[in-house]
A and B are shown apart, each in its own frame.
Chain A
Amino acid sequence: MLGGSRLLLAGLWLLGSFSCLRGDAGGYRRKVTLQSVPGSNSSSANLLHVRAVGRNDTLHYVWSSIGAPTVLLLYSRSQSSALRVNWTKLLSASPAGAIWIEPPSSVVYATAVVFTKVFEYSGANVSALSKGQEEPFYPPYDLADFSWQSVNHTVNQTALTAKFQGVNTSDPGGTLGNGTISFQVTAYEQGGRDGPLPRLLHTANSSKVEFIMDHVAPRGNSSRFMLEVVTVEEKGGRKKLQSVRSIDDEYTPTIFEMAQLVSEPRNDSIGPSFFQWKTTAYGSREASRENAIRCRYHPLQTANRTLPEPSIAHAYFGEGLGRSHHIAAINISFGGEDGEVYAEMGYLSWSALLGFGPPPKDAFSPLVMAIVAVALGAPVVLLLAGGLVVLFARRKRHSQYEPIN
């Protein structure tokens, strides 16, 4: 027994050290700076620039609340590429070409994600929605009409986070009440995993955005909310919706599905771009399983989509945005048939990861593998050892008998 337990311990240690080695190998590190781009007088015209410099490339994430909240994902082959902004043009009626990367030729891949609208509907019977029946929709909140607070105060250089917080100005004192809708941005220097739920696995080539609704007053008894996300791909590229079902819910308890929008594979080193999320939202600042809110997504809409103006996507991609780019939209709804979590808590938070390269995939934790190995191995070892002991005992007994014969 004692020897066996020592063996088990050794096995555990071995497994642990293996996992450490693996963790080190994946630790590619980027030098990340996160700053608000100065130059505008309006507090609502926020431009947040995340610059992640790698060995021979740079990732630019440009977040903005000019128009609908938007993020530009730009991949540049140069370590010294820089963001340039023409503010007067950007805030004018025709912003095309107001944002560019210097030198422009270094950018090999550009894509954008725009958060356009928040819908509210009565969701007592969500199954009707999937059947395509008419749902009693309330007038949607157009995020482009929101007034966004200055991002300057929320930039945290050490944690690499910033928060865009918006209130509805088009309807003052109206339905939104004193509620806010915000987008919390987190940039990463290297691969790892978040502490709080949903504990998304991230790489050095990705950033996280958290969509938060706080005290937005529901307009009905069983209101559900739905976020519309629009993606922009250059011509030839095209985003596909994938559902990755996994048996592993260790990091996000009881959630077995990861949904992701992935662009078509590319030939260059950086690979595709992705936008991925776990199919859950949480109804509390302290996310936990009991305040989980069911999250569904609806089919990707690609036919005749246009991107509503204004947004910085128009400023970067220019006039040809409609013709030469591929635009796809997806609706992500929160709350199932019987989930009144939002009505009770008045809070909703949903996280998504966006970045370049193959989308991260969860793997079994070393602890799970160790337990499985030990638990399955021990009875087998015991069976073998016991068999030997019995065999040995029998032979011994046999040899004692032989002289008598």
Chain B
Amino acid sequence: MVEPGGEEERPLLDSAQNDCPQRKALPALCDPRRLAHRLLVLAFMCFLGFGSYFCYDNPAALQTQVQRDMKVNTATFMALYAWYSWPNVVLCFFGGFLIDRVFGIRLGTVIFSSFVCVGQVIFAMGALFNAFWLMEAGRFVFGIGGESLAVAQNAYAVSWFKGKELNLVFGLQLSMARIGSTVNMNIMGWIYSRVQDLVGSTGHSTLGFTLMIGGVTCIFSLICALILAYLDKRAEKILCKEQGKTGEVIKLTDVKDFSLSLWLIFIICVCYYAAVFPFIGLGKVFFIEKFKFSSQEASAINSIVYIISAPMSPVFGFLVDKLGRNIIWVMFAVVATLASHIMLAFTFWNPWIAMCTLGVAYSLLACALWPMVAFVVPEHQLGTAYGFMQSIQNLGLAIIAIAAGTILDSRGYLFLEVFFSACICLSLIAVVMLYFVNHLTGGDLNWSAKKREKLQKLAAAEAEKREKLRRQNEDDLAKLQPKNDFSLRNRYLSKLGAQLPDNYASYLPALAHRSVLK
């Protein structure tokens, strides 16, 4: 493993002490050392991902229109989602590598943004020329950019806000992503009807123009990428800092060392998300046909999962951190999701109940499941584990999306919901097995936070002692290390045998993959 340079770890403020030429005082908004400027950068960072999140769910928002105008069945329609996922089965192993070693974060971000833009334009052209294969190609190009852009976005956040407001920044970025999805769900149908009034009829060209208008958000995001690149370059000059990095290291041979617990977590992840995202992709027609919702109502209820998870994620993150017992939380979330799918399948109860349950369960799962990986994987394999997880998640999503479309065409929504419930049950089986495996092997996944804290204190004390011995003359640097739960946890892990680089920022690789949380 290559040790990241000390340069990267050092906060921005301190680098002014280097032999950088001292500049004259700048206005607060233009000075990279000041909060006001960082907030400006934060705004651009948030809008950087807006376009890709907005356009990702364009097909779901326009399902009836796409199927009618392009004359495709549901299985073919769902291929639009599958084509987004295919490149990411491979690419999520290389996103970090491309940013760190090949392009650098600035050029990388611009390139990925351009891919997103070009992809959306091709997608819209496919509709304009009535060529569905071109639409699929568009989604493929869009997928190449989309997922890697999220990694780049996180790397930017780390490079600008490390040791400061990082958690808040990640929270904001995530909320922005969800706002993008929600706005898309609720506005694309309206844009389509406006374009329809303008053109005078429905048809593939109406769809094409609508998607082109949706693509404006991607152009907007590309502009944000360019501005960010300029600001980052400028800050680099002023502060003499290094370009941001994801710091992730992927070694595919690590896969053979993955524990049973990790594989079970993978199964939970794939089966769970496969029953949520494809369902949202196909949900609109379901609410219109089964519950007699109007098109607008159906869009609203279909986006409620995203709306709920925006404020609930931080709350649950806090709760899970305080209480521990991750497996119980995951089990609870999976059971709640199962209940909501069963409600949707077998009752005519108001679907808002089921969808709100789903939204809450989905947020809870994200907060409890993803940190578990860090417990069962040694530090140096964390990047590989998350990359692998993301890869098979994309693979699962692509396959299940097509399967879901086929099932819907041939056997209808009841069977589809039963199929999703079966996926959730598979996930539940994996959770139960994980519980017992963890119990029998004496793992720490289900400890309460109290117990964990006790052990962590022990470990931390030991680690600190060791560290003091090792770098007595560098103790001022040690103080700068973030003292959050995560780093303490990883010190505990390092005690178990994983040798950590001295100033390894343990949360970087994990957070670089937050895009998976969508």
Contact = CB atoms under 8 A, between A and B. Distances in A.
A25 interface: no
A386 B432 contact: yes
Label chain B's interface by main secondary structure: helix
Contacts of B415: 250, 368
B316 interface: no
Interface stretch (B70-78, B140-148, B165-173, B365-373): B70-78
B440 A253 contact: no
Interface string B352-393: 000000000000000000000000000000000000000000
A180 interface: no
Nearest to A279: B289
B394 to A, nearest CB: 24
A340 interface: yes
A379 B429 contact: yes
A249 B432 contact: no
B414 A290 contact: no
Given A253-B409, A386-B433, A375 B346 contact: no
A187 B257 CA distance: 65
Contacts of A339: 68
B202 interface: yes
Contacts of B67: 290
Nearest to B407: A253
A253 B72 contact: no
B103 interface: no
A390 interface: yes
B409 A249 contact: no
A254 B285 contact: yes
Given A248-B414, A376-B425, A393-B440, A290 B432 contact: no
Contacts of B413: 249, 253-254
A332 B202 CA distance: 25
Contacts of B432: 379, 382-383, 386
Contact of A382 (B286, B346, B414, B429): B429
B16 to A, nearest CB: 58
Interface string B281-292: 000011001100
A389 interface: yes
Contacts of A390: 436, 439-440
A338 B286 CA distance: 17
A379 to B, nearest CB: 5
Interface in B285-324: 285-286, 289-290
Contacts of A393: 440
Contacts of B433: 382, 386
B289 A255 contact: yes
B12 to A, nearest CB: 50
Interface in A140-198: none
Contact of B436 (A256, A338, A340, A386): A386
Given A254-B408, A290-B72, A386-B432, A371 B439 contact: no
A247 B71 contact: no
A250 B286 CA distance: 13
Contacts of B346: 247
Contacts of B21: none
Interface string B48-71: 000000000000000010011001
Nearest to B413: A249
Interface in B401-415: 408-415
A251 B419 CA distance: 16
Contacts of A290: 67-68, 71-74, 409
A371 B418 contact: yes
A29 to B, nearest CB: 29
Contact of A368 (B286, B289, B414): B414
Interface in A247-279: 247-256
B210 to A, nearest CB: 14
A2 interface: no
Given A247-B345, A290-B67, A379 B428 contact: yes
Given A253-B412, A368-B414, A375-B422, 15 more contacts: A245-B348, A248-B414, A253-B411, A254-B289, A255-B412, A288-B73, A289-B73, A290-B72, A338-B64, A338-B202, A341-B68, A368-B415, A375-B425, A379-B432, A393-B440
Interface of B: 64, 67-68, 71-74, 202, 285-286, 289-290, 345-348, 408-415, 418-419, 421-422, 425-426, 428-429, 432-433, 435-436, 439-440
16 contacts: A247-B290, A247-B348, A247-B414, A250-B411, A253-B413, A255-B289, A255-B412, A290-B74, A338-B68, A338-B202, A340-B202, A371-B422, A379-B428, A379-B429, A383-B432, A386-B432
Instruction: Pick the 3 closest A-B CB pairs, nearest first.
Output: A253-B412, A249-B412, A375-B425
